[in-house]
Chains A and B, each alone.
Chain A
Amino acid sequence: MRRSSILLLLLFLGGPGCGNDFNPRSYLSGLRVLAVRAMPPEVGPGQTAQLDVLSVDTRGRPVDFAWAVCRLPPIPGGSSVRSECATTDTAPFLEQLGGGSTKAVTMPNVAPTDLGPPDYTNGFYLPVRLRAETTAGDPQRVTSIYRLRYALGTPPNQNPRIADVAVVQDGQAVPLVEGQPLPVRIGAKITLRATLAAGSVETYQVYSGDPRTTPPETVTETVSVDWFAPAGDFENNATGEAEPDNTLDLGQRPPSAGATIDLFVMAHDERGGIDWAHRTLVAQ
């Protein structure tokens, strides 16, 4: 068993993207699905949530979407979603929902355990597959899976909310306004800050100790903020509430003069709650 602990350690160390020359995740190139947001993010059996997608194609190609619900429950100890949900085009376990950038999804009238085993937040989920595909130019297809959380009767999870995206100049945060691009100099390093609205970080209960002696423990959500842009390098791919500042270095992967830089900020918790914001910069 001891070797397993070493293996575990090395796996932690050796996840994707460690110590290499790859483009960072925050750098946008080609077609990307950045997020799917459900409103509300947790629904009971028979209830409906409205899902919408945040995607970007840096080459400006038109994109088609195809939504499907996957009713294949995951295997205990396996991946959160069966790989067949991502790879199969048509199958009895796939319920095709059609296209569009938004979709209404209804939680089936089943027991939560019919959806598979719970995750570490005691959550049961309905997998919803979204395929995004360019319809002109070089074909590109991206598969994403969002898992809609089954409401168990405990206080439901809510989406976090991004209150503000600002540029920090001389210690002062100046809010960026959607539709009003901020001029920036090519080669400059810009400090950006994303602020979460009050109440975005919620609490919930899990068993974490010996279940014979320890009652459920109240834990606080982890809300991460991901940053994306088609130019420059972020100091960090993601930040959090405690350390909200990030630096965009426009000396790396510099934009061309006059180019509009789309800046995407996405906040998510570990129970399927998501929010995003879009701002723009103009390179000078």
Chain B
Amino acid sequence: MPEGAPEKPDAPPPSDTPATPAPPQEAAPPAGVPFSGRVLRRGDRTPVAGVSVLIDGGTVEATSDADGRFSFPDLPVGEHRIQLLGSQTVPAEVKETLSPNKSLQVTYYVEILERYRTTVRGRPIEREAVEQTLRPEEFKRIPGTQGDTLKALQSLPGVARTPFFGGQLVVWGSRPQDTRTFVDGVFVPTLYHFGGLRSTVNGEFIDALVFTPGAYGSEYGRGIGGLVEIQTRRPRDQGLHGYVQIDSLDASFALEGPVSKNVSVAVGGRYSLIQFILPAFTPNNFQLTPAYWDYQAKIHWNASPRDDVDLFIFGSDDTIKLSTKNPNPAAQAQFDSHTFYHRGLVRWLHRFAGRVTLQVTASSGYNVPFQVRANIGSIPLRIDARVTPYVLRAVVRAPLTSSLRLDAGLDFEGATNVIDAALTQNGAPREGDAPGPPRGAGFATETTTQRPAYLAPFAALRFSVLDRRLTIVPSVRVEIFNTFSSSRYALGGKTGRSDVTTNFIRPSPRLTLRYRVSSLLDLKAAVGVYYQSPDPTAISYSFGSQRIQPEFSIHYVAGVEIRPTPTLLIEAEGFYKDLRNLVVRGTSAQDPPVINDGIGRIYGGELLVRQELFKGFFGWLAYTASRSERADHPGDPFRVFQYDQTHIFSIIGSYQFRRGYQVGIRFRYVTGNPYTPVTGAYYDINEDRYTPLYGGTYSSRLPAFHSLDVRFDKTWTFKRWRLLAYIDIQNLYNRRNPEGITYNFDYSQRQPVSGQPLFPVFGFRGEF
């Protein structure tokens, strides 16, 4: 049987899904017998609509519906030639024999022309000035990311490369914590397992990733960097589907399908395997044990034609244990960290008359976003944060006229944070800090209870003028930061308590313009004001300041967008960001550990040439040139930011060959990260170690990074399932990219520290 030919089912079709015969064309009684069936995609049994079923060369014809069903109420008895023709299917032909007084029901599995599938979804009218959307068919095949959802973002323009596991999002020169990630409108605290090994949200549940590096609209806030929106998809409502995947890092699965006419369910999970592999590569006196898992469960209820209700429960858990054995008790180190989050999310969408919609999302959960217990010799270090968040988001979208629309809503984020800490007063590491292990003046023990209640009403008016060529979106968001913090501390042998409530009200106006010069060319510009509450560790008596204020920034963006073909996009933008009130270290013994003295400026431009999936190929070329600078205190000269990278270039291409083969490459060239050089050292006799003396903050730079990643996929498609094998090789030519500097005991000698060597990941995936 030729590839793509239809096959009969192994078992009779379900009796509760009979084909609905079409009404008879004539009043005369039928002379033949009914013939009906379904057309399903080979491999995963997805119904295929729009396939023409031709009988005997086209004398009779039917077309499969959205459920893949077709029917002929009255075909003559005998042998017939059946042809299946569709715009996205491999043509197929089979013979069927109809017997007297016996209906025939069949299922045909057809091959989809994946290589010619396109992902064009029409031009969205609500795009931000700068916004990129990645779909699963792309992010699952990007080399060097092992098919990971969020790691794929790091190949987009405006995103810097970060060292170590490369999991942080440094967008347009902003700190990682300045870019906020939302799942269906709800902020998630932990994007990656173990600092970037894997995303905590399974890509199988994702419909789209929408990435906005800056100047986004008023629906979101509390972040002075970029925005990542993860839009989850509805569970499939036809048949049971799922997958199982295993590779060198972890194993995962997902199952989904309908449980009733209006309810569909999906569940999934992942468990790491790396903890079983690592011990083979570590010495006996050094034990590093990372382990992680995550889960997702989603229920979609089509409650009425006007109402959809979704329940999404998801979470993530990471454990890291590190211990070193040394006869010197001061050199023995033990590091235990267990962090996790669990979230429940309910979303209700109601459609009113006149295309007015109301969407309400409520969410709560429990997080331990930061937890470390460590002993370095006799120095006990402990920080344990426990967060109970509660979120409510309501959005009304009301088309007022054909060219005027109002979007308005309320965005509330509250929490109870309890932070137990015993550590040096520098607390959490901050951008601009000198590198090296924790050391320092001031050791405190503190339990802080915080109750942040952040409310933000927002509204955006979208209207078009000049024959709808010019779209103007003025919007405003009022950030209300209310925080109660209560610190019980022990510092220098004395204990005390400090309760402080702060209130900050910050209006955040924003404006987006888009002018359609022609059907191929758009001009765009945007400006916006953004505020961000300091991280919880900064709101502390001993380790920060209970009166610390929100940081803020103003984003300016202007650019051009060209779409020469429906699937080819060329974008160029220039951007400028003005940062104020940044949280930095105090400068005198009278200052609290952190103050709002910092300012910053970020400017640059980027270019993206992107071919969406077309004829089996997708890829893009992205280039960003930028400079990100900070001045930590008034009068200080500007210095470069920790991850300032002048040039970020990446090129990605992936092509599907016939017979299930796919090859992808990614090449990256990035300016080396800045670092703070050591200019000397003195011997701290009490601590029995040399303390380095530093030059200007980030005044030296590592050599450039470049790397070639390659991914090979082979898919075997069977009747009811598919098997995928892949190898994803990072750093194919084993470039020794410097990621840092290491020094001898007195800092008189130095050597570069190389990053990830050639690193292959093998994997298998079965899906049905």
Contact = CB atoms under 8 A, between A and B. Distances in A.
B705 to A, nearest CB: 18
Given A22-B749, A73-B589, A242-B329, A11 B493 contact: no
A206 B423 CA distance: 12
Interface string B574-592: 0000000000011111011
Contacts of B164: 6, 10
A9 B383 CA distance: 13
Given A209-B422, A224-B328, 10 more contacts: A9-B322, A17-B743, A20-B751, A76-B442, A76-B592, A80-B440, A116-B589, A118-B491, A237-B328, A270-B686
B385 A80 contact: no
A122 B494 CA distance: 9
A87 interface: yes
Nearest to A83: B693
B232 to A, nearest CB: 22
Nearest to A26: B745
Contact of B495 (A14, A211, A272, A274): A211
Interface stretch (A138-146, A164-172, A178-186): A138-146
Interface string A21-54: 1111100000001011000000000000000000
B686 A79 contact: no
B687 interface: yes
Contact of A81 (B379, B385, B442, B691): B691
Nearest to B329: A240
B456 interface: no
A16 B495 CA distance: 35
B94 interface: no
A112 interface: yes
B335 interface: yes
8 contacts: A9-B322, A17-B744, A80-B686, A112-B492, A117-B589, A210-B420, A221-B378, A268-B688
Interface in A237-284: 237-243, 245-246, 268, 270-272, 274
A19 to B, nearest CB: 7
B691 A118 contact: no
Interface string A95-130: 000000000000000001100111111101100000
Contact-residue size bin, chain A (C-beta under 8 Å from the other chain)? 35 or more
A15 interface: yes
Given A3-B195, A246-B327, A9 B425 contact: no
4 tightest A-B CB contacts, nearest first? A117-B442, A74-B441, A6-B195, A120-B443
Contacts of A87: 680, 693
Given A75-B441, A243-B327, A1 B370 contact: yes
A232 B164 CA distance: 35
A150 to B, nearest CB: 11
A2 B588 contact: no
B447 interface: yes
B372 A119 contact: no
Interface string B362-394: 000000011110101111101001000000000
A212 B488 contact: yes
A147 interface: yes
A211 B751 contact: no
A6 B194 contact: yes
Nearest to A244: B327
Contact of B683 (A7, A21, A143, A242): A143
A271 B378 CA distance: 11
Nearest to A246: B327
A202 to B, nearest CB: 12
A90 interface: no
Contacts of A16: 436, 689-690, 692, 742-745, 747
A15 B592 CA distance: 28
Contacts, number: 272
A43 B425 CA distance: 25
B704 interface: no
Contacts of B376: 12
Nearest to A6: B195
B329 A224 contact: yes
Contacts of B183: none
B322 A222 contact: no
A222 to B, nearest CB: 4
Given A118-B491, A207-B422, A35 B685 contact: yes
Nearest to B423: A120
B493 A210 contact: no
A152 B327 CA distance: 32
B678 to A, nearest CB: 9
B: contact size bracket: 35 or more
> Which of B195, B376, B427 has the largest number of chain A CB atoms within 10 A?
B195
A76 B685 CA distance: 20
Nearest to A147: B686
Interface of B: 164-165, 167-168, 176-177, 189-190, 194-195, 320, 322, 326-331, 333, 335, 337, 339, 369-372, 374, 376-380, 382, 385, 420, 422, 424-429, 435-443, 445-447, 488-493, 495, 535-537, 543, 585-589, 591-594, 680, 682-694, 740, 742-747, 749, 751, 753
B283 to A, nearest CB: 11
Contact of A152 (B377, B438, B493): B493
A36 B684 CA distance: 10
A6 B536 CA distance: 17
Say whether chain A's binding surface is mostly helix, strand, loop, or mixed: loop
A151 B281 CA distance: 48
A174 interface: no
Contacts of B747: 16
Contact of B326 (A11, A33, A236, A270): A236
Contacts of B320: 5, 9
Contact of A211 (B369, B447, B686, B691): B447
A86 interface: yes
Contacts of A242: 327, 329
Contacts of B177: 1, 3
B286 to A, nearest CB: 9
B195 A79 contact: no
A16 B742 CA distance: 6
A45 B706 CA distance: 59
A238 B437 contact: no
Contacts of A233: none
A18 interface: yes
A125 B686 contact: yes
Contacts of A221: 378
Nearest to A273: B686
> In the complex, which of the residues B335, B420, B587, B745 has the most CB atoms of chain A within 10 Å of its own CB atom?
B745
Contacts of A245: 327
Contact of A144 (B176, B422, B685): B685
Given A74-B441, A226-B688, A19 B742 contact: yes
Contact of A119 (B374, B422, B441, B447): B441
Given A122-B492, A238-B330, A270 B443 contact: no
Contact of B445 (A77, A80, A211, A222): A211
B443 A75 contact: no
A146 B686 contact: yes
A79 B378 contact: no
Nearest to A15: B437
B152 to A, nearest CB: 19
A17 B689 CA distance: 12
B684 A208 contact: no
Contacts of A11: 429, 435-438
A146 B685 CA distance: 5
A118 B441 CA distance: 6
A8 interface: yes
A75 B536 CA distance: 21
A94 B329 CA distance: 35
Given A77-B427, A80-B687, A118-B491, A208 B377 contact: no
Interface centre among A1, A17, A20, A146 (most CB of B within 10 A): A1
Given A120-B380, A211-B489, A77 B426 contact: yes
A225 B377 CA distance: 13
Contacts of A207: 422, 445, 490, 495
